[in-house]
Structure 1
Amino acid sequence: MAVSLLAHVVSDLCLGKPALRSLTISSTVADALSALKNSDDNFISVWNCADHSAKTGFGDERCGAGGDECRCVGKLCMVDVICYLCKGENLLSPSAALKAPVSVILPKIPGLVMHVEPSSSLLEAIDLILQGAQNLVVPIQTKISSYSRRKQLQKPSTTGPTIHNGREFCWLTQEDVIRFLLSSIGLFSPIPALSIDTLGIITNDILAIDYHSPASSAVAAITRSLAEQTSVAVVDADGCLIGEISPFTLACCDETVAAAIATLSCGDLMAYVDCGGPPEDLVRVVNARLKEKNLEGMLEEFNILSDSSSFSSDEESMLSPPRSGRYSRSMSYSARMVRRAEAIVCHPKSSLVAVMIQAIAHRVNYVWVIEDDCSLVGIVTFSDMLKVFREHLETMG
């Protein structure tokens, strides 16, 4: 059975994965914003194609023509746009900021996106992820014929998959690999039953900020947490976990959240992005403080704050009614389905498999570790888990 697991290749994990939608490196931030709003995925891939002719920034049939190879050079989500708009000069003129090339918001960390062949082994994929890759770009075969693809792509599309080098691509994430390993979890016995404390995979190097701190002071931490696929813990004066400012949650918002970050405290920001849209009292606070800070450009650009939600309608339907203004500490070890600003938590003695299931169920790459009094111990990430499985797979080989 161990041999059969090791025999799996990357293409086995790609079954049923949707084809990537993409932008070209010559697109603007506004193009990226539009693409993100029109995508079913929280992330958009960015490609460098020498012969790319679609002026709108989306792929067409001549992509990669003439022997020039198209390469995915990165990925973007709404958090990249939001953090970019939170910069001082961009707060003054967000409309001008949106005209900048998309390259200004691409993460500058090399190796976050890596191309791999469908025949690459499972071990090779895990090794790339442990070396820092967040997304593995894999060519996929679809039922669409080459003729149909050409017909489909005669006009650039802002919603459909994009063809590069005559092929469609998908990407694999840490979550995909963890899900795959979970389906064969019995092969790793007794490791899955051991506690995360026993396995030594609780990381103490965490990003945390005080509940009463200005949300603007958390921007650097939010950017880093996005790059590390974690989150920013919001704690009280005693170091107890109150909630989090999560890139996962912010990626479900729109660009107007930049105005809230510029004007609210961390605690108020959690309430602002929690449960289906900002409360009216906080909307009024944001507008008033924008005026106080002489940020008329942002106020004009984001005047929709007064009558619309920061969440998409699909996201809104998944959330519960708004909570009261007071925050509360949950004593549960699995507490986040109800509220988007509350953190998923576990105990140091929680088993590895239990923590895996928690993270997968909530579609995040990490789980916070707390004690019975809610004091924050650390964090466990998919990367930490993969290191354990990689060591075991090595012995199986």
Structure 2
Amino acid sequence: MAVSLQSHEVSDLCLGKPALYWLPVAATVGDALKALKQSPHETELGVWNCNHSWLDHKKPTNEGQQLKDCSCLGKVCMVDIICFLSRDESLYDPASALSAPVSSLFLPRIPSRVRHVDPGSSLLQALDFILEGAQNLIVPIENHKRLSFKKLGQKIASAGTASSTSHGGKEFCWINQEDVVRFLLGFIGVFSPLPSMTIEDLGIVNREVLMVEYDKPASSALQMIQLASNTQTAVAVVEQDPLQGPKLIGEISPSTLMYCDETVALALATLSAGDFMAYVDCGGPPESLVDLVRRRINQKMGPMGEGEQDQNPGNPIPGSDKPLTETDSLSTDSWEESSDEEFSVQSPSGPLRNSNKWSRSCSFNKFGYASRGRRVAPLTCKPWSSLVAVMVQALAHRVNYVWVTDEDSNLVGMVTFLDILDVFWNHLQSLD
């Protein structure tokens, strides 16, 4: 059985995978935002560097050379954009932020999270790459029916945004940690007796986790959120007990932020960690938190933009039936009314298009949050939970980690897919 597992190739994990949508390295942050908002099935986009013209795919002069000249530099998602836009310099000048190159979203001094892999590579080689730090393995696919998205066709490609168009006649997909764990679950008997052992006995409970106190500013966790996105984990929201330590209240999860829109950057910049957690959870923020963000953004921006306040009196805030009052200075331009031309490089996307100040440019979309039925409570297990139970629990909820708590909800640590894969890898090595 172990020999059968080792004989599998990376291509076996590509079955049913859609072609990878991608952005050229010359794209802007606004281009990435547009592509993600108009691609309902895509939460991440690859960023590619190609020496040839990225739009010239109809008549490739040398397919081998084109493939050689093309490489995926990394990936971007809505979490990267939200964190980028929540910085002070972006808050005061979002138009410039959205015109910045998409590479600005990459974390400095952090290795790329993607790696090109030959489809004939063994499953064990793929496991090696993931344990070395690759989150996504870029694999070429052939004879694949391309996945197309509503409203994403030629009008997006012609604007220089995102495309699933092939590189030199080739299309690519990517394999992630979840794909490998899910595949290995079908061979769980190979790893006996590990699946029935507890995570504590296996020594895979990470005690050093990212956490922020409930009443601290969410902005104080900005770097932790970026790191959590980079490591495919989350930031614990806790209350400190002087006797028992941190008690897990909730989490700020990049897997949730991926389904939010860019206006969440305003909440990240102004709310406490506990309020921010409530803002992005369960289908949309309460009206009270929307009002709180509005007031604090106006305070943060000071008097700037207030002189234009009366130009659009009485227009409703998008996502709300409430008309603007004399104290409101949010944009009256609805996201739904945005035209395709407003997504160009010269005119940044969406509700940020007509202003260089958030206080005159933000619309609150209360229905764009956690659209996949995000759970209210963070996913937890106990130190005595079995490895297979934690593995199945994480796969069922489509997350790469499970928090570990004791019987009193005190935070003990975290178990990740990377920990589980490391256990499996060591077991397979011991069989050689």
TM-score by length of 2: 0.80
**Counterpart in 1 of 2:38?**
38
From 367, 374, 385, give the equivalent of 2:402: 367
Report if the CA contact (8 A) 1:43-1:76 is conserved. Answer: yes
Residue 360 of structure 2 is aligned to residue 300 of structure 1: yes
Report if the CA contact (8 A) 2:219-2:269 is conserved. Answer: yes
Report if the CA contact (8 A) 1:244-1:343 is conserved. Answer: yes
In 1, Cα distance between equivalents of 2:61 and 2:248: 49
Report if the CA contact (8 A) 1:208-1:232 is conserved. Answer: yes
Residue 248 of structure 2 is aligned to residue 241 of structure 1: yes
**Counterpart in 2 of 1:282?**
289
**Counterpart in 2 of 1:258?**
265
> Where in structure 1 do 4 or more consecutive aligned residues deviate above 6 Å?
152-155
| Cα deviation code 1:17-69 (max 9, x no counterpart) | 11100000000100000011122121001100111243xxxx84467958242
Report if the CA contact (8 A) 1:136-1:173 is conserved. Answer: yes
In 2, Cα distance between equivalents of 1:268 and 1:64: 55
**Counterpart in 2 of 1:230?**
233
Q: CA deviation at 1:396?
A: 2.7
**Counterpart in 1 of 2:20?**
20
In 1, Cα distance between equivalents of 2:383 and 2:61: 50
| Cα deviation code 1:275-307 (max 9, x no counterpart) | 1011111101100111111165112221x12xx
SS across alignment from 2:157: coil
Q: Which residue identity lines up with residue 391 of structure 1 in the other structure? A: N
**Counterpart in 1 of 2:366?**
309
Residues 176 and 113 (structure 1 numbering): CA distance in 2 closer, same or farther, change over 3 Å?
same
Q: Which residue identity lines up with residue 194 of structure 1 in the other structure? A: M
Written as runs of structure 1 = structure 2, the 5 A alignment for 1:101-180 is: 101-108=101-108, 109-143=110-144, 156=157, 161-180=164-183
Which one has a bigger Cα radius of gyration? Answer: 2
Q: CA deviation at 1:257?
A: 0.3
**Counterpart in 1 of 2:332?**
none
SS across alignment from 2:118: coil
Residue 190 of structure 2 is aligned to residue 199 of structure 1: no
Report if the CA contact (8 A) 2:23-2:163 is conserved. Answer: no
SS across alignment from 1:249: helix
Percentage of matched positions with identical amino acids: 51
**Counterpart in 1 of 2:429?**
394
Q: Which residue identity lines up with residue 88 of structure 2 in the other structure? A: G
Residues 144 and 385 (structure 1 numbering): CA distance in 2 closer, same or farther, change over 3 Å?
closer
Report if the CA contact (8 A) 1:61-1:153 is conserved. Answer: no
Report if the CA contact (8 A) 1:86-1:262 is conserved. Answer: yes
SS across alignment from 1:275: coil
Written as runs of structure 1 = structure 2, the 5 A alignment for 1:316-335 is: 316=371, 318-319=372-373
**Counterpart in 1 of 2:414?**
379
Residues 154 and 65 (structure 1 numbering): CA distance in 2 closer, same or farther, change over 3 Å?
farther
Residues 63 and 175 (structure 1 numbering): CA distance in 2 closer, same or farther, change over 3 Å?
farther
**Counterpart in 2 of 1:338?**
375
**Counterpart in 1 of 2:391?**
356
Q: CA deviation at 1:80?
A: 0.5
Report if the CA contact (8 A) 2:23-2:162 is conserved. Answer: no
Number of paired residues? 362
Deviates more, 1:159-168 or 1:72-81: 159-168
From 273, 277, 281, give the equivalent of 1:270: 277
Q: CA deviation at 1:107?
A: 3.3
In 1, Cα distance between equivalents of 2:285 and 2:218: 15
SS across alignment from 1:117: coil
CA RMSD, aligned part only? 2.1
Q: Which residue identity lines up with residue 53 of structure 2 in the other structure? A: H
Report if the CA contact (8 A) 1:51-1:65 is conserved. Answer: no
Unaligned runs of 5+ in 1: 146-151, 320-336
**Counterpart in 2 of 1:324?**
none
**Counterpart in 1 of 2:50?**
49
In 1, Cα distance between equivalents of 2:61 and 2:394: 38
Residues 106 and 344 (structure 1 numbering): CA distance in 2 closer, same or farther, change over 3 Å?
same
Report if the CA contact (8 A) 1:92-1:298 is conserved. Answer: yes
Unaligned runs of 5+ in 2: 147-152, 306-356
Q: CA deviation at 1:159?
A: 6.8
Report if the CA contact (8 A) 2:301-2:359 is conserved. Answer: no
Q: CA deviation at 1:175?
A: 0.4
